[in-house]
Structure 1
Amino acid sequence: MTREFETASLDWLEAELQDTLDEDIEIEFSEPMLSQEIRKIYREQHPEMLDRQVYFRNLLRLQAELIKVQDWVQHSGAKVCILFEGRDAAGKGGVIKRITQRLDPRVARVVALPAPNRREQSQWFFQRYVPHLPAGGEIVLFDRSWYNRAGVERVMGFASDDQVEQFFQDVPEFERMLVRSGIILLKYWFSITDEEQQLRFMMRIHDPMKQWKLSPMDLESRIRWEHYTKAKEEMFKRTNIPEAPWYIVEGNDKKRERLNCIEHLLTKIPYEEVPGEKVVLPDRKYNPDYERQVLPDELYVPKIY
């Protein structure tokens, strides 16, 4: 009986793993509405893309390590703050999705702030970001951050030269304060080539399921590619401090980009495996007098599939 139970358990685990892989493949299948012409062009531009099996095998391994990071953060009360910056369509969202995919949203949360309202515009610049910083036992991932001022706000003219200069003077000390307070602060810049961004924008234009990702600001960024390059270079020069250095992730191959970023992230957090108590499923208690009520049919979702 024990051997049969073990065999059944292995079959169940194998089925669960397959289901997990199916979920990953579903997430990865990000071009459902593209024409064959666009698909062909993309493949021709990326002849050396990482093998799918290699990618998924390593992604699952890294996500297992991220769960250990989560357990350590909860156990130790650590505070982790990760900034994700880069050009539009550079793959920031895809990396964030893979990092958080198997984590507890009560521990790891994503912050993606909209444009500041009038009240926020009148505040100290960093004020709107402070409430979102991690408390003990939390991991916070900023999908764009206070570096908007050094990038889009500067290039698009939403911030004056004086405001940008004040930012550059303030941000190193602001980040040193965060680090001194015990926050593990990591800053990632996702880098893609001019040609790659153009190709990804074209894919979004031709994919109805991704057109929502294209904003007028994104289209304007294509026109101002060189302005963004100069802004990025000065940002690195003035904000790459020893306490919080920048790390550049090459992103032309999305799969390599994701794996490389997560691998690096794991080396920058001093986590260790936290021994946990063995979980034992308790016996269900049965009440012989209990009768389950029959619910009306209209409460149930129709079984279309």
Structure 2
Amino acid sequence: MDDLLQLTHAGKALDGAPEFRGTCCAGGPDRAYGGHVVAQALLAAQRTVDPARFVNSLHAYFLSMGRPGTEVQYQVRILRDGGTYALRQVTAFQGGNALLSLTASFKKVESGPDHQIAMPHVPMPESVPAQGELVDRFWSGITSSVIRQSVEVRPISSNSADENAADHGGGRDRCMWIRITGGVSSDHWMHSAALAFCSDLALARTVALGHLDRQVGGKPHQKLFLTSLDHAVWFHRPCRTDDWLLFVQRSPTSGGGRGLANGEFWTRTGVLVATVAQEVLVREKQALTADARPIPAATMQAR
């Protein structure tokens, strides 16, 4: 994972902003994986702050589609350096085209009241099949061999989850164990970036859970076009991404051409380490015309 997220310092842009460069893997045919761009943008921001600060949140908007294997420039603006918090804004460019706008907040460690909700009762990763229909279904929409080699996923059957797990009308929570397999350095910044990388793998498709026809075996009753519009992560506590994390997702609502997905990351010992949210463009493919067809994914031009 360290090699996958590697950045090089490229001096400063014309406006004096620190600049870093990297390349991103494919998330689909001829299309850069949005989670990779988010992770590298976060790393670029982290390189301009005091190492004693930990990232506490990021908010990103996907502006246009990137090309895998082509250099991406990350320009960092220093918005604030306070006594506890620091704020950075990163814009990712490729060939002069803006791909992503990300704002990240960093803070020093401090003590205070602590509470969290309980982790759902699910089987431990060792008892969840590493191969099978659920695994194949998960990877069916992800063509990148780089992601498959770097991330291991073990989806949990809905029949194995806690019988008291929430049912949200459009479907129960979707749960999976996930971890980085290629090794991650002990640097806490690298683990934060690796978590951001993983957080974009499944959220968009979770929105489709609310559009299932239970009368036909749970298959989508219509073909949907799904693409990420924005992405947010709140980092609650440090974690290691090369150990198993439980990723729980759900979609509380969709309508008006948009859907919302959110979820949580937990350690195997039940520590809540991050909360994520993503807004997704949702349209019926058969309803698209040449004039109304959306620009693909993380591809949306600024509206």
Q: Would you tell me which structure has more strand in proportion to its own residues?
A: 2
**Scaled by the length of structure 1, what TM-score is found?**
0.25
Q: Would you tell me which structure has more helix in proportion to its own residues?
A: 1
Whose RCO is larger (CA < 8 A, sep 6+)? 1
